[in-house]
Amino acid sequence: MKLSGVFTTAIVLMAAAMTANAADDTKFIPGKQLTLIGKAAPTPDRYARIDTIKYDGFTDYQRQYLNQTPAGMALVFNTDSERILANIDYKRRVTGYNTTNIAMAGCDLYIKRDGKWMYAGSGLPSDKGEAVTLVSDMTPGMKECLLYLPLRSIIDEIYVGVDPDATIEAAPNPFRHKIVFWGSSFTHGTSANRSGMAYPLQLQRATGFDVRALGMAGNSKLQQSYARMLADTDADAFVFDAFSNPSAKEIRERFTDFVSTIRAKHPKTPLIFQQTIYRGGRNFNTKTDKAESEKMALSEEMVRKAMETDPNIYLIYPVTDTDGYSCTDKIHPSDLGYYNWMNSIRQPILDILSGYGITAE
């Protein structure tokens, strides 16, 4: 009986040790050892989007916050680990009211299977520094992984956790044809439930295009500061959600100069302008409905006029819904809306780009 008691104790201790090991022996690899994709241009801070020293005219909010978020970026790597965790050193951890915190501050993992990017797991590292398990108990073998970074937090570093004996290595960028998106909170992914559901990133996975998504929530107003940055950006095509944030007055005053600044350095690159979407708040707010309607008419007029003399400018029409069904907060679509958005622009963009020899995978 005595011996049996010792054995029982030993088994309990072993079980406890195994459990502890499962949690504690994770090997964490900093993102800087892996491949970072989705950046439009180099920046001093690895996970920032825009070099704010290089350009004049940004507001403090844009310089210190929006331009610094890693929205649109992802790490790509290969690993044979049977589980994948993530942890983040936040410079600024931002939470939200109209967006899940998984999208605001967490990450979103895809793994390639049969040539297709499949959802693998998403989650939010704790604000106490604890990692989140994105997926576990996978089959053995090397896997190609795509890990989207948070939409609205600023990060110092992200760490990918794997089994202690697993291989993990930087993978080549799986995407091709540099398509630069620039736009509003819609392009940023506000009210998406996880970062990979921002519509440009859905399009990235659906087409294989090397999308660089510069969503600037509330701050996409055809400014010269952003036009100069975009002009400096290497791109096979630009896709703009340029009419969602500015007022009609701003569109009238700024649109032509915005195009001119980009055209000075990209004389023939396709510039695809997206009309803004129907906002759910228009259903009953007559003022919003009138203002949006007038703004959409003006946007269309401005683009159509530019198209008369520039054969490489295009106008396309994203549709999320026509009755606010997918609206979260009078303005922003849910994943339902962003899924519809992506589907509504996919073929029009493919049709346009095929004229430039740019085709999907």
Radius of gyration of the chain (CA): 23
CA dist list (Å): 200 to 57, 308, 357: 26, 28, 20
By C-beta, is 13 or 118 nearer to a copy of itself?
Answer: 118
By C-beta, is 139 or 309 nearer to a copy of itself?
Answer: 139
Contact with a copy of itself (CB under 8 A) among 121, 150, 189, 246: 121
Beta strands at 35-37 and 143-148: parallel, antiparallel or unpaired = unpaired
Q: How far is the CB of 150 from a copy of itself (least distance, A)?
A: 12
**328 counts as binding a copy of itself under rule CB under 8 A:** yes
**28 counts as binding a copy of itself under rule CB under 8 A:** no
DSSP 86: E
Helix axes 248-265, 286-309, angle to 10 degrees: 30
Stretch of residues binding a copy of itself (CB under 8 A), selected from 147-155, 171-179, 279-287, 305-313 = 279-287
By C-beta, is 124 or 262 nearer to a copy of itself?
Answer: 124
By C-beta, is 225 or 326 nearer to a copy of itself?
Answer: 326
- Give dist(CA 224, CA 234) in Å, integer: 17
Contact with a copy of itself (CB under 8 A) among 97, 115, 309, 357: 97
Contact with a copy of itself (CB under 8 A) among 4, 286, 309, 322: 286
As given in the structure block, the two tokens for residue 113 are: 């299977």
Contact with a copy of itself (CB under 8 A) among 178, 281, 296, 307: 281
CA nearest neighbour of 173 among 49, 32, 35, 34: 35
By C-beta, is 115 or 267 nearer to a copy of itself?
Answer: 115
The torsion angles phi and psi of 55, rounded to 5 degrees, stand at -115, 145
CA dist list (Å): 143 to 159, 170, 264, 361: 18, 12, 43, 19
Quick one: how far is CA 116 from the chain centroid? 18
- Give dist(CA 88, CA 158) in Å, integer: 4
**131 counts as binding a copy of itself under rule CB under 8 A:** no
Stretch of residues binding a copy of itself (CB under 8 A), selected from 29-37, 41-49, 50-58, 98-106 = 98-106
**194 counts as binding a copy of itself under rule CB under 8 A:** yes
> Taking phi first (over 0 means left), then psi (-120 to 50 degrees means alpha), and beta for anything else, what does residue 173 get?
beta
- Give dist(CA 361, CA 356) in Å, integer: 15
Helix axes 335-354, 199-207, angle to 10 degrees: 50
Stretch of residues binding a copy of itself (CB under 8 A), selected from 64-72, 92-100, 167-175, 304-312 = 92-100
Mark residues 41-80: x for contact with a copy of itself by CB under 8 A, - for none: ----------------------------------------
- Report the amino acid identity of residue 156: D
Q: State which of positions 153-192 bind a copy of itself (CB under 8 A).
A: 191
By C-beta, is 67 or 122 nearer to a copy of itself?
Answer: 122
**Residues forming the site for a copy of itself (CB under 8 A):** 96-102, 106, 111, 113, 118-124, 135-139, 191, 193-194, 197, 280-281, 283-288, 323-330, 334-337, 339
